[in-house]
């Protein structure tokens, strides 16, 4: 799609040949059916290019180019008066006055959202208490985290979701778009802890759990309200009576219900297993909360929970020796995490490795703890890598954990929750883990067991929230067995019950689900939904908390006691006490229930019956596994149905440089700042008020100063939405340039001016006809624009159905900017103002159809400006629809298809364009324009359109159409339109000089033909080159051949004119 920053002006723009006909190689219906014709059309286009080149040469020879105008002196425009909204909240805006001369997004967007909401347009509309016969469309919002305000990534998500919702609503369907927020356990707890420390100098431990949770709820109330305000400004047409928060009482009840059911069934279990442990937060992390940082080799890094003045060595592999028991032998192992050797419980070698067969079953001696470390044979070991011997630390490495389980090894945890060495890591007790790494290395050197250090390209896991290096730790946690549920989710996609778009995301789905691991769902946090599990304490017994036997799950404490008594029938009930687990559920667990809990599950509600499964889930491709997969697994397990029928994964939004959005880079943009505009100092102020530390604030300010030196201009909601959607095709990531959004702000202005002008032409007394039927009085231009409108309707509907927003917006942009504004509006001016009342009325009717349908087509993308302009249109008889958003979306009408009128008007418009181009190059007043038609059909067409054509060519005094036998007077310049049509303009030309230039151009074109022919004659061309490439090559050749013909014809015509 053309970039508006290059194409859009505030006033009318002349359309080029490519603009009018669509893409340069746009196909007519016949061409689509016939490849030969397609190639011929492309050849014609190449011929036009050649003719244009010839015309430019003539212009240079004539020496009569226009003189450059003196630059206009810029005058300062008077500032617009500040808009004051006088419409009472929820009332319909009064638009009885004149259309304002200038587009003001603040004024345009005011009041409409409140009016829509108060009028109930966002609610599902039923027919006789049932969904409409057109169908049901339900979409749940991916609930944004209450960690802070929304950014442009959220604006993209909600623009897509709302565009689809509005489109389906306008198709007559019963629609439901459900809003809400996610409590985002770990992320929200961190930001509130930072804020408490920054503002009050207190920690959560100072406050205590209950008081801290109250503080987080205050934060939630503040930011949920802000988020909902942002969603409304973006135009999201949500049913606000159904808004949900993942820690609402009914949502907590649903999460408890899900946990208890799955635990009772054995799908949820408790076990001591390895988790991603953040020693700074002292909690387990999901894989999504862990970033993988690549190191090319030796790298010195600071670590957040260590001495900030120190840097530690990573990206190396250290070799050291274990002495063999009762022997002078040693076995050398290598590791990237030297400190973990304190927890080694085996050394593994490959069973077939001859170097170590004599050591199978023997022991090495731990150099610091004098423990016996068994030497085991295991196929996990690669005998070709390193020394072929591997140290095994089952409690601190995922692969070693598996080897440890397989070989019944001891699991020794050497770290405290804070990441310090515990008693099992003696003699280094109390050291931070990476200080211990340094100390262990020094001691190994002292014991002469150190064998060397090498650079090692590696990946280190970092906590997304703290930047801390994640430690694999053995912890008793709650786990979900995902195997069977994942198999069902895979089958749902394979069987077609669930469709994933685009296909690349479907491939990701298979990859993740086929290799799924059990899911840790407990977190050591205070903010979140408490795990509904209870530890059973029996009097005078020391029960093991890691043993699932002593845990039960329950919906409340009463049920828990009943279950406990039933589980231990021989124990007196009075000797049993219960302690609810202090941990909270992983946010993804409660979020995984979102599609059906928002409908009232576990209760059998009417909403669940009517709107579940949801029609669509739209989300970012980055959380396909972490969120979407879990919703599908839990939805199918708990409701028996897929939670949604389709998943559309949109691209990720990055900044103009392709960088991930990050607060510390200063590129996280609030959509309201794009809508309303913001200065650079105000952007800086936002950073200062946030949670970043001083260094991060300065870095972010530098980023903002570089990217937005003048701040962010006011763009308005409609421009922002359209820009975001225009980027979206479901493919690669979006590198969003704010200046491009500003370009669409200018397009909104073009739309505004065009509609305002059209309304002026229609006049205050105009009444549209009651129906859309053609009268037979339509001109060629009328039929042409209706055919173009029909094409736009088809393309927009088809692409929305395929979630191809880039192509949908391109079709709308093409129709409005080029077909309607630049061509048809210019064409209708003289007709509407002319003396032919029938032609004038017909043009008005067609213009009205285009305005009405065009605004409706745009509405899902640009809801505010389309409502404002549509409300100003006159109405057909008996049309009482109160808002464009509940009007019917346009559908293509067969009677508007007219390939002949399209071809005829394209030819007329090409003649006009060619004549304008000639006149632009010569200072001839009251010019004589001659059109020579090579066929009777084209001659009659041009004669019938003489009046219109002449009116569209500024500076044209005489417009004459000649037949094939017509004689062109000497001294004319020429522009080749097609094989049958040439346009002439009287003037002086040095024909000999131009003929010499044409000879040179013909020679170059012949060289190009030879070059491309050579490409088609390489060995294996016919069998190895795909058909699309061959067609393209053939098109190129035919294009150059057509160029040669056109240039030679121009040469012959020059000779004739010279010799006349």
CA 443 centroid distance within chain:
53
- Amino acid 274: pLDDT: 92
Cα separation of the two ends of the chain: 47
Residue 20 lies in a domain: no
Same domain, 324 and 432: yes
User: Taking 90 as the threshold, does the pLDDT of residue 212 lie above it?
Assistant: yes
* Contact call for residues 377 and 387 (beta carbons, < 8 A): no
Cα dihedral 331→337→341→345 (10° resolution): -90
Instruction: Using a pLDDT cut of 90, give the percent of the chain over it.
Output: 63
User: Taking 60 as the threshold, does the pLDDT of residue 796 lie above it?
Assistant: yes
Residue 365 lies in a domain: yes
- More reliable by pLDDT, 59 or 748: 748
* Contact call for residues 537 and 543 (beta carbons, < 8 A): yes
User: Taking 50 as the threshold, does the pLDDT of residue 229 lie above it?
Assistant: yes
Residue 804 lies in a domain: yes
Same domain, 876 and 946: no
- More reliable by pLDDT, 165 or 878: 165
Same domain, 966 and 1015: yes
d(CA 440, CA 428): 8
Residue 73 lies in a domain: no
Same domain, 951 and 811: no
- Amino acid 434: pLDDT: 97
Same domain, 742 and 880: yes
b/e 7-28 (16+ beta carbons within 10 angstroms → b)? bbeeebebbebebbbbeeeebb
Residue 308 lies in a domain: yes
Q: In Å, how far are 49, 181, 332, 996 from 1050, measured between CA atoms?
A: 13, 69, 85, 12
Residue 152 lies in a domain: no
How many distinct structural domains can be found in the chain?
Answer: 5
- More reliable by pLDDT, 923 or 192: 192
What number of residues does the chain have? 1060
CA angle 266, 267, 270 (to 5 degrees): 75
Same domain, 690 and 743: no
Beta-carbon contacts of residue 6 (< 8 Å; ≥ 6 apart): none
- Best mean pLDDT range from 5-14, 188-197, 504-513, 688-697: 188-197
Model pLDDT for residues 73-92, shown as the tens digit of each residue: 555 555 566 788 889 999 99
- More reliable by pLDDT, 621 or 17: 621
Residue 819 DSSP one-character state: I
* Contact call for residues 541 and 558 (beta carbons, < 8 A): no
Bridge partners (DSSP) listed for residue 335? 318
Pick from 879, 897, 915: which residue ends a domain?
A: 897
pTM to 2 decimal places: 0.81
- More reliable by pLDDT, 412 or 57: 412
d(CA 1048, CA 971): 19
Same domain, 782 and 697: no
- Amino acid 988: pLDDT: 56
Model pLDDT for residues 691-731, shown as the tens digit of each residue: 777 888 888 888 888 888 999 999 999 999 999 999 876 66
Residue 1010 lies in a domain: yes
Q: In Å, how far are 41, 50, 458, 818, 819 from 897, measured between CA atoms?
A: 20, 32, 62, 19, 15
Same domain, 1003 and 1026: yes
* Contact call for residues 1020 and 1034 (beta carbons, < 8 A): no
Q: Mean of the pLDDT values across residues 102-128?
A: 96
- Amino acid 332: pLDDT: 96
Helix (H, G, I), strand (E, B) or coil at 14: coil
- More reliable by pLDDT, 449 or 955: 449
Same domain, 749 and 868: yes
Per the rule left: phi > 0, alpha: psi between -120 and 50, beta: everything else, 730 is left
* Contact call for residues 470 and 462 (beta carbons, < 8 A): yes
* Contact call for residues 44 and 978 (beta carbons, < 8 A): yes
- Amino acid 887: pLDDT: 97
Model pLDDT for residues 866-900, shown as the tens digit of each residue: 999 999 999 998 899 999 999 999 999 999 999 99
**Nearest-CA neighbor of 391 among 358, 360, 346, 351?**
346
b/e 424-450 (16+ beta carbons within 10 angstroms → b)? ebeebeebbbbbbbbbbbeebeeeebb
Same domain, 887 and 921: no
* Contact call for residues 996 and 55 (beta carbons, < 8 A): no
d(CA 797, CA 972): 48
- The range of the structural domain enclosing residue 758 comes to 724-897
Q: In Å, how far are 536, 700, 706 from 738, measured between CA atoms?
A: 58, 17, 13
User: Taking 90 as the threshold, does the pLDDT of residue 409 lie above it?
Assistant: yes
Q: Which of 20-34, 355-369, 521-535, 619-633 has the lowest mean pLDDT?
A: 20-34
Model pLDDT for residues 815-864, shown as the tens digit of each residue: 999 999 988 998 888 889 988 899 999 999 999 999 999 999 999 999 99
User: Taking 90 as the threshold, does the pLDDT of residue 665 lie above it?
Assistant: no
* Contact call for residues 325 and 364 (beta carbons, < 8 A): yes
Helix (H, G, I), strand (E, B) or coil at 943: helix
- Amino acid 990: pLDDT: 61
What are the start-end ranges of the H helices in 8-151?
17-21, 29-33, 35-62, 105-109, 112-118
- Amino acid 30: pLDDT: 40
Q: Which tokens in the block code for residue 14?
A: 């002349």
Same domain, 910 and 878: no
Count of Cβ atoms closer than 10 Å to residue 285 Cβ: 23
Q: Mean of the pLDDT values across residues 656-663?
A: 73
d(CA 893, CA 774): 11
Q: Is 694 exposed, middle or buried (0-12, 13-18, 19+ CB in 10 A)?
A: exposed
Model pLDDT for residues 764-793, shown as the tens digit of each residue: 999 999 888 889 899 899 999 999 999 999
Q: Mean of the pLDDT values across residues 390-409?
A: 95
Pick from 429, 456, 483: which residue ends a domain?
A: 456
* Contact call for residues 868 and 95 (beta carbons, < 8 A): yes
Residue 841 lies in a domain: yes
280: confidence class by pLDDT, cuts 50, 70, 90: very high
- Amino acid 1019: pLDDT: 84
Per the rule left: phi > 0, alpha: psi between -120 and 50, beta: everything else, 600 is left
| Average pLDDT in the chain | 88
Instruction: Using a pLDDT cut of 70, give the percent of the chain over it.
Output: 90
Same domain, 989 and 887: no
Model pLDDT for residues 623-659, shown as the tens digit of each residue: 888 899 999 999 999 999 999 999 998 878 887 777 7
d(CA 797, CA 508): 28
* Contact call for residues 2 and 815 (beta carbons, < 8 A): no
Task: Give the CB-side neighbour count of residue 288, counting CA atoms within 13 A.
Answer: 18
Pick from 456, 478, 506: which residue ends a domain?
A: 456
Q: Which of 221-235, 447-461, 1003-1017, 1023-1037 has the lowest mean pLDDT?
A: 1023-1037
């Amino acid at each position: 799609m053309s970039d508006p920053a290059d194409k859009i002006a505030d006033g009318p723009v002349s359309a080029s040949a490519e603009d009018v006909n669509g893409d340069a190689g746009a196909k007519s219906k016949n061409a689509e059916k016939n490849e030969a014709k397609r190639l011929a059309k492309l050849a014609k286009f190449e011929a036009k290019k050649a003719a244009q080149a010839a015309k430019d040469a003539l212009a240079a020879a004539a020496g009569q180019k226009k003189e450059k105008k003196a630059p206009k002196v810029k005058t300062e425009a008077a500032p617009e008066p500040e808009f004051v909204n006088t419409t009472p909240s929820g009332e319909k805006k009064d638009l009885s006055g004149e259309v304002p001369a200038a587009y003001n997004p603040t004024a345009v967007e005011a009041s409409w959202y409140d009016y829509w909401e108060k009028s109930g347009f966002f609610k599902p509309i039923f027919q006789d208490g049932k969904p409409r016969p057109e169908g049901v469309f339900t979409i749940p919002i991916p609930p944004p985290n209450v960690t802070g305000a929304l950014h442009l990534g959220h604006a993209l998500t909600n623009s897509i979701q709302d565009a689809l919702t509005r489109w389906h609503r306008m198709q007559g369907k019963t629609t439901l778009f459900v809003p809400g927020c996610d409590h985002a356990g770990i992320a929200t707890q961190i930001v509130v802890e930072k804020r408490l420390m920054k503002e009050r100098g207190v920690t959560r431990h100072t406050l205590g759990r209950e008081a801290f949770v109250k503080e987080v709820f205050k934060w939630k109330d503040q930011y949920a309200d802000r988020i909902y305000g942002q969603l409304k400004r973006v135009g999201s047409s949500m049913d606000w009576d159904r808004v949900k928060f993942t820690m609402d009482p009914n949502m907590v009840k649903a999460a408890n219900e899900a946990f208890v059911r799955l635990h009772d069934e054995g799908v949820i279990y408790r076990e001591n297993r390895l988790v991603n442990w953040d020693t700074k937060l002292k909690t387990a992390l999901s894989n999504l909360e862990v970033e993988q940082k690549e190191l090319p080799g030796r790298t010195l890094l600071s670590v957040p929970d260590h001495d900030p003045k120190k840097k530690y060595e990573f990206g190396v592999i250290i070799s050291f020796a274990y002495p063999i028991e009762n022997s002078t032998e040693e076995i050398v192992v290598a590791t990237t995490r030297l400190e973990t050797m304190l927890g080694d419980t085996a050394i593994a070698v490959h069973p077939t490795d001859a170097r170590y067969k004599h050591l199978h079953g023997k022991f090495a001696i731990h150099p610091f703890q004098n423990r016996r470390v068994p030497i085991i044979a295991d196929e996990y070991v690669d005998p070709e890598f390193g020394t072929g011997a591997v140290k095994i630390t089952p409690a601190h490495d995922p692969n070693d954990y598996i080897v440890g389980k397989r070989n019944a090894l001891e699991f020794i945890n050497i770290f405290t929750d804070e990441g310090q060495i515990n008693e099992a890591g003696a003699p280094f007790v109390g050291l931070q883990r990476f200080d211990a790494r340094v100390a262990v290395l020094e001691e190994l050197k002292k014991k002469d067991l150190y064998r060397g250090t090498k650079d090692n390209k590696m990946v280190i896991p970092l906590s997304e929230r703290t930047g801390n290096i994640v430690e694999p730790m053995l912890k008793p946690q709650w786990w979900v067995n995902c195997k069977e549920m994942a198999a069902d989710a895979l089958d749902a996609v394979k069987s077609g019950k669930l469709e994933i778009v685009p296909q690349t995301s479907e491939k990701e789905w298979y990859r993740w689900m086929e290799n799924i691991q059990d899911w840790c769902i407990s977190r050591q946090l205070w903010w979140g939904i408490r795990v509904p599990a209870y530890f059973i304490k029996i009097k005078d017994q020391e029960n093991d908390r890691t043993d699932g036997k002593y845990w039960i799950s329950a919906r409340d404490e009463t049920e828990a006691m009943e279950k406990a008594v039933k589980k231990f029938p021989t124990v007196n009930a009075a000797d049993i006490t219960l302690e609810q687990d202090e941990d909270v559920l992983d946010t993804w667990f409660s979020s995984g229930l979102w599609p059906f809990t928002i409908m009232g599950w576990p209760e059998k509600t009417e909403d669940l019956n009517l709107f579940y499964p949801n029609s669509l889930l739209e989300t970012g491709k980055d959380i396909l596994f972490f969120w979407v997969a879990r919703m599908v697994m839990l939805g199918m397990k708990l409701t028996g149905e897929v939670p949604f029928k389709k998943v559309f994964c949109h691209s990720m939004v990055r900044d103009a440089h392709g960088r991930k959005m990050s607060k510390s880079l200063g590129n996280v943009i609030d959509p309201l700042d794009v809508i309303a505009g913001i200065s650079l100092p105000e952007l800086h102020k936002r950073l200062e008020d946030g949670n970043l530390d001083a260094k991060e604030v300065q870095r972010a300010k530098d980023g903002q100063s570089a990217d937005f030196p003048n701040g962010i201009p006011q763009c308005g909601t409609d421009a922002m939405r359209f820009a975001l959607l225009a980027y979206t095709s479901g493919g690669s990531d979006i590198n969003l340039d704010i200046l491009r959004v500003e370009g669409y702000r200018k397009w909104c202005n073009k739309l505004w001016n065009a509609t305002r002008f059209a309304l002026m032409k229609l006049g205050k007394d105009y009444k549209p006809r009651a129906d859309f039927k053609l009268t037979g009085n339509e001109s060629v231009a009328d039929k042409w624009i209706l055919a173009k409108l029909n094409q736009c309707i088809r393309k927009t509907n088809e692409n929305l159905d395929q979630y191809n927003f880039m192509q949908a917006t391109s079709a709308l942009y093409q129709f409005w900017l080029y077909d309607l504004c630049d061509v048809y509006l210019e064409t209708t001016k003289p007709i509407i103002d002319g003396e032919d009342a029938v032609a004038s009325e017909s043009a008005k009717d067609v213009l009205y159809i285009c305005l009405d349908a065009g605004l409706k087509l745009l509405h899902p993308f640009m809801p505010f400006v389309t409502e404002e302009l549509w409300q100003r249109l006159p109405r057909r008889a008996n049309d009482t629809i109160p808002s464009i958003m509940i009007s019917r979306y346009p559908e293509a009408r067969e009677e508007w298809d007219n390939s002949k009128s399209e071809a005829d008007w394209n030819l007329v418009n090409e003649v006009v364009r060619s004549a304008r181009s000639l006149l632009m190059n010569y200072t001839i007043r009251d010019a004589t324009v001659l059109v020579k038609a090579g066929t009777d059909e084209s001659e009659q067409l041009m004669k019938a359109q003489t009046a219109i054509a002449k009116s569209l060519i500024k500076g044209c005094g005489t417009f004459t159409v000649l037949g094939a036998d017509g004689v062109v007077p000497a001294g004319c310049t020429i522009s080749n339109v097609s094989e049958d049509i040439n346009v002439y303009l009287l003037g002086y030309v040095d024909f000999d000089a131009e003929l010499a230039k044409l000879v040179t151009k013909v020679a170059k074109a012949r060289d190009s033909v030879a070059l491309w022919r050579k490409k088609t004659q390489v060995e294996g061309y016919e069998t190895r080159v795909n058909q699309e490439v061959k067609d393209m090559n053939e098109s190129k050749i035919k294009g150059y051949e057509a160029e040669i013909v056109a240039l030679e014809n121009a040469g012959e015509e020059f000779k004739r004119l010279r010799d006349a």
